[in-house]
Every structure is written in C-alpha cells, then in structure tokens.
Amino acid sequence: MFFRIHHRLSYSYDRPVFLEPMTLRLTPRQDGSQRILEHHLRLVDPAAGLTRVLEPDGTDAMVAWFQQERDQLTIEVDMLLETLRSNPYDWIITHKEAQHLPVDYPEAEACSLAGCRHGQIDPAVRAWAQAIADKVEGSATAFLGALADEIHHGFHHVGRLEGEPTSAAETLATLTGACRDTAVLYIAACRSQGLAARFVSGYSMHHPPEVSEHELHAWAEVYLPGGGWRGFDPSLGLAVADGHVVLAAAPDHHLAAPVSGRYRGTGVGSSLAYLIRLQAASSRDELEGMAQPMVSS
C-alpha cells in the first residue's frame, strides 16, 4: 500500500512559556515492512536547534530545543511511504520453546528483550490471559490471534483524544477502552505468558467505528523467533499487515509517544489541536491521481 499523510499539531499556551527540549517521533520506521519515499518535518515557529537521534529501541526521532518564550508551537509533517507486508503471517517459529506457552526465548534474545517481557502483571489480567491460553491449548501463535479477537469482540471501544492509557486491570474490569488502553492490556496479557511485547504508535487506514476521522492509532508488537516483531491490533481484532504505518515502538508507551516534552510556566494552561489527512491506495499511480488532501494554513 502507498500512503500520503499530512499531520499538523498546534500547541497553545495561556501566556508565553519556556519550552524544555522536545522529542519528536514523527518519522516513520524504515524496515522490511515499510519504507519512506518522502518525508518533510518543520516547526512553523522555528526552534533554536533541531537534530536527528536514534533512540534505544531504534526509533528515528528528532530533538528540538528552544531559547525564547512563546505562547504557541506548530509542528507539521508531510510524508509519502509504502507499506510492504501484505501477509502478516509470512513467518515460521525457529525456536521450539517459543511455540508453546509460556514462551521461552534463546538466551541472547531473552537478554535483549528483557524490557519487553518483565513488569508487574495484575492477577486478574494474568488469570484472564491464562484462560485464553488454555482455550488454544497453549499454542503461542493461536494465542496472539485469539487474544486480539477476544478484545475486539468482547470490549466496548471508545475514542478518547487525550490522557494516559488506563491500566490493563482497569480496562479489563470495565471491558472498555480506547486503542491505547486495549494495546496496554494486550501487552500485559502477552507478557504474562512470557511473550515479549511492546507498545506501538502510528497511523492506520482502517477506521474503527468509534472514530469519525483519522487520528493517531496505537497497537502492539510481539517478538517471535523467526518472525521478528509482528504487529497485532486488538482494537480492530487483526494481525497487522500493510494497512498500518509505524512511527515508534517501545516497551513503555511514553517512549513511543509521537511528541514528548514539558514547558515551564506557573499556573499556565495549554491546549492541543491536531489535523491528520491520510490517503491510501494500492499503487503510487493511483495515489498520485487522487486529489491532494486539504491542509489548513
């Protein structure tokens, strides 16, 4: 699939504030599943400095820093890219101990994946995940699909523009959540079975019914020996193929946030407005033949 995406974020403050250095994770990942054809990022209100960095989990990010106080900041990104994985199951498991739950990885991989495997798991989440594992007779691959299907069909999915993800335990207790909430639950359930899982942010061409317009999307990736990192989208109930575009992935959702930063200003309120225009087509010629997305100035 070919994607043309315009993403604009506008931050406004009640009065001028000093912005601390800001990390921008708005450059799509380049790997065997997607490639960038064009990418342009700009700050409408220029920063004092802007540099590209490679983060611990391989995210291609930019860090901006500022010298003068300001009461607004606008970030714009235009990109053209191609997603390459039409079959999300084009892999085999090459390590026998990873075929059955709880999963065990080769020693070298286990060390590298430690941050995506460990953490406190609520007992209710662990028991719920175990019940799904029992239904699929401990098959690791069947568990991943069954878990996504269970969340997709068994939960009430909502749109929620702001705020931290709810905990896995809260999402399970209420059977309700936005995409980032169900991603956190999916990750916790996988980790309870020994699977390495991490949080992903990006874009999707698929419109969940609770969303009326394009917005940032969240899902999970799970590591399988022989398959590498593979995406699963519990809010949509599917294995990720070429309909998703990855911006960032990390063990902690904070490290996959498209924008991270703070400002200094006592008692100063802030607001965020955003616009995402996304077009997708099966060929570049078809995409080029579409009308350019309308972008506000």
The span from the CA of 154 to the CA of 286, in Å, is 37
Locate the domains of the chain by residue range: 2-84+258-288, 96-241
Per residue in 174-226, pLDDT (tens digit) is 999 999 999 999 999 999 999 999 999 999 998 655 555 578 999 999 999 99
What is the distance between the alpha carbons of residues 294 and 121, in angstroms, rounded to a whole number?
Answer: 45
How many CB atoms are located within 10 Å of the residue 222 CB?
A: 26
* CATH 2.60.40.2250 corresponds to the domain 2-84+258-288: yes
Q: Three-class SS of residue 160?
A: coil
**Does 250 score more than 80 pLDDT?**
yes
Cα torsion 269, 210, 6, 165: sign: positive
The single-letter code of the amino acid at 199 is F
Nearest to 115 by CA among 249, 277, 15: 249
CA–CA separation, 164 and 24 (whole Å): 18
Which is nearest to 116 in space by CA: 238, 245, 256? 256
Q: Specify the CATH number of the domain 96-241.
A: 3.10.620.30
pTM for the model: 0.93
- Cα separation, 111 vs 176, in Å, equals 34
Radius of gyration of the chain (CA): 20
Mean pLDDT of the chain: 93
Measured distance CA(118)–CA(102) in Å, rounded: 13
Confidence tier at 251 by pLDDT (50, 70, 90): very high
Compute the distance between CA of residue 249 and CA of residue 230 in angstroms, rounded to an integer.
11
The reply to whether domains 2-84+258-288 and 96-241 share a CATH topology is no
Dihedral angle at the C-alpha atoms of 283, 32, 88, 279, nearest 10 degrees? -30
From its phi and psi, is residue 251 left (phi > 0), alpha (psi between -120 and 50) or beta? alpha
